[in-house]
């Protein structure tokens, strides 16, 4: 390798590794302190994309792996340094080979190598421009473009007094280094504009740090609902601390109903015992908590319609639900983000579900009941969305 090429490769690799360190040591603490989150969320997201190869190499593919300090962090940095040096060397070598030789024939003189080289350079530039455009859209545009999905769902036995009940589902907020508090507040404003009777929160309120529980709870406290707001926790809430998660939500008047239930009476009051009307039940997170269908649904009169909140839609396939004989009119879930990346002709390459893309998004027929999965508004694993924009759902119940 020539000295100039070696030096340029070292500079580019050093820049990448230095930026990763800068994100960890400066931008993430700034974001956690609540300062300049609109800018630092973008800078932290770019840093994560640069850091990810080393993190995966140092810790494996676990969603919980952070490689935040110690030996994993050093191994991740070393791996990334070598990786980006190799990429820079290949890039600079390709540029050198693509540069026309002074001795080459002038364009069009004999239709020879120079023309073919120019054609290949133009094709490579076109591919690079297309890839760059797709990245800009998936990183900067779609993740901040919240859509609203409206569904009308018939429920057998729903009292006529509750006909037309409006429920808004907000899920997978993931306030953390890639999401700003202002974005969460914008999502809350959209929820309020839908004029809900009930707000359903189905987990994963923070990402990567427990310092975000207080601010996200403060933002969710602004949710307005004529009847009430109810929540269950997700796997990320357990990973960052289940006690502060529940405590922050309860302090702002949002009860968690994991492995529990409430009843909405025909006169639109909230009761904790069976009183007719509509039962709204919840179960614990499938990955980290106990899923107790008996506590959620046991003893509810058979004629009472019921909804079941679960962060993870795979709960619909649990044997205890299939064989338990519990009535569930609709399960409402999040967790899978619509796959977060949906490619043309290929679908969703990665969905955090045991059942592939079945429970990626939308209304799905489960073994016992229909399951509605909202794509949510946040991001995890990668700070990008492509073909699966953030979503808030409005579900309107109709008497059937």
Domain boundaries, the chain: 3-141, 147-399
Beta bridge partners of 358: none
Phi, psi of 307 (to 5 degrees): -110, 150
pLDDT of 256: 98
Per the CB < 8 A criterion, the answer to whether 274 and 197 are in contact is no
Smallest CA-to-CA distance from 196 within 400, 398, 395 is with 395
Per the CB < 8 A criterion, the answer to whether 169 and 183 are in contact is no
**Cα distance between residue 223 and residue 228, in whole Å:** 10
Q: What is the pLDDT of residues 242-253, one digit of tens each?
A: 999 999 999 999
Q: What is the pLDDT of residues 131-155, one digit of tens each?
A: 789 999 999 999 999 999 999 999 9
pLDDT of 300: 95
Cβ neighbours for 218, distance < 8 A, ≥ 6 positions apart = 252
What the block records as the tokens of 49 is: 């994309």
Q: What is the pLDDT of residues 297-311, one digit of tens each?
A: 999 999 999 999 999
C-beta pairs of 216-220 under 8 Å, 24+ apart in sequence: 216/173, 216/175, 216/181, 216/184, 216/248, 217/248, 217/249, 217/251, 217/252, 217/254, 218/252, 219/175, 219/181, 219/184, 219/185, 219/188, 220/170, 220/173, 220/184, 220/188, 220/249, 220/252, 220/254
- Give me the helix-helix angle, 37-59 and 3-22, nearest 10°: 110
Smallest CA-to-CA distance from 174 within 397, 381, 313 is with 381
Q: Indicate the CATH number for domain 147-399.
A: 3.60.21.10
């Amino acid at each position: 390798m020539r000295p100039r090429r070696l030096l340029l490769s070292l500079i580019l690799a050093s820049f990448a590794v230095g930026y990763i360190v800068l994100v960890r040591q400066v931008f993430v603490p700034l974001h956690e302190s609540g300062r300049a989150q609109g800018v630092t969320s973008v800078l932290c997201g770019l840093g994560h994309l640069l850091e990810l190869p080393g993190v995966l190499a140092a810790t494996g593919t676990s969603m919980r792996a952070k490689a935040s300090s110690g030996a994993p962090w050093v191994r991740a940095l070393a791996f990334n340094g070598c990786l980006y040096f190799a990429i820079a060397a290949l890039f600079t070598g390709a540029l050198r080979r693509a540069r026309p030789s002074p001795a080459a024939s002038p364009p069009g003189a004999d239709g020879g190598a120079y023309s073919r080289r120019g054609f290949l350079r133009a094709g490579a530039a076109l591919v690079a421009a297309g890839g760059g455009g797709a990245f800009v859209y998936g990183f900067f545009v779609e993740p901040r473009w919240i859509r609203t999905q409206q569904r009308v769902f018939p429920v057998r036995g729903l009292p006529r007094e509750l006909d037309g009940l409006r429920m808004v589902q907000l899920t997978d907020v993931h306030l953390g280094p890639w999401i700003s508090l202002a974005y969460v507040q914008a999502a809350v404003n959209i929820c309020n504009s839908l004029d809900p009777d009930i707000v359903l929160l189905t987990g994963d309120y923070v990402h990567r740090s427990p310092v975000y529980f207080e601010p996200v709870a403060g933002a969710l406290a602004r949710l307005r609902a004529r009847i009430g707001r109810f929540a269950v926790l997700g796997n990320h809430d357990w990973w960052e601390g289940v006690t502060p998660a529940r405590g922050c939500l309860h302090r702002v008047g949002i009860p968690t109903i994991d492995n529990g239930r409430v009843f909405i009476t025909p006169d639109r009051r909230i009761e904790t015992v069976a009183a007719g009307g509509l039962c709204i039940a919840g179960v614990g997170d499938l990955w980290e908590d106990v899923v107790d269908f008996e506590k959620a649904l046991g003893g509810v009169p058979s004629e009472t319609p019921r909804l079941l909140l679960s962060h993870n839609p795979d709960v619909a396939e649990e044997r205890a639900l299939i064989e338990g004989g519990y009535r569930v009119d609709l399960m409402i879930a999040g967790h899978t983000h619509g796959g977060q990346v949906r490619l043309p002709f290929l679908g969703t390459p990665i969905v955090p579900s045991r059942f592939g893309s079945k429970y990626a998004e939308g209304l799905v027929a489960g073994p016992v009941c229909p399951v509605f999965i909202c794509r949510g508004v946040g991001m995890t694993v990668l700070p990008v969305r492509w073909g699966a924009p953030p979503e808030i759902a409005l579900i309107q119940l109709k008497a059937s």
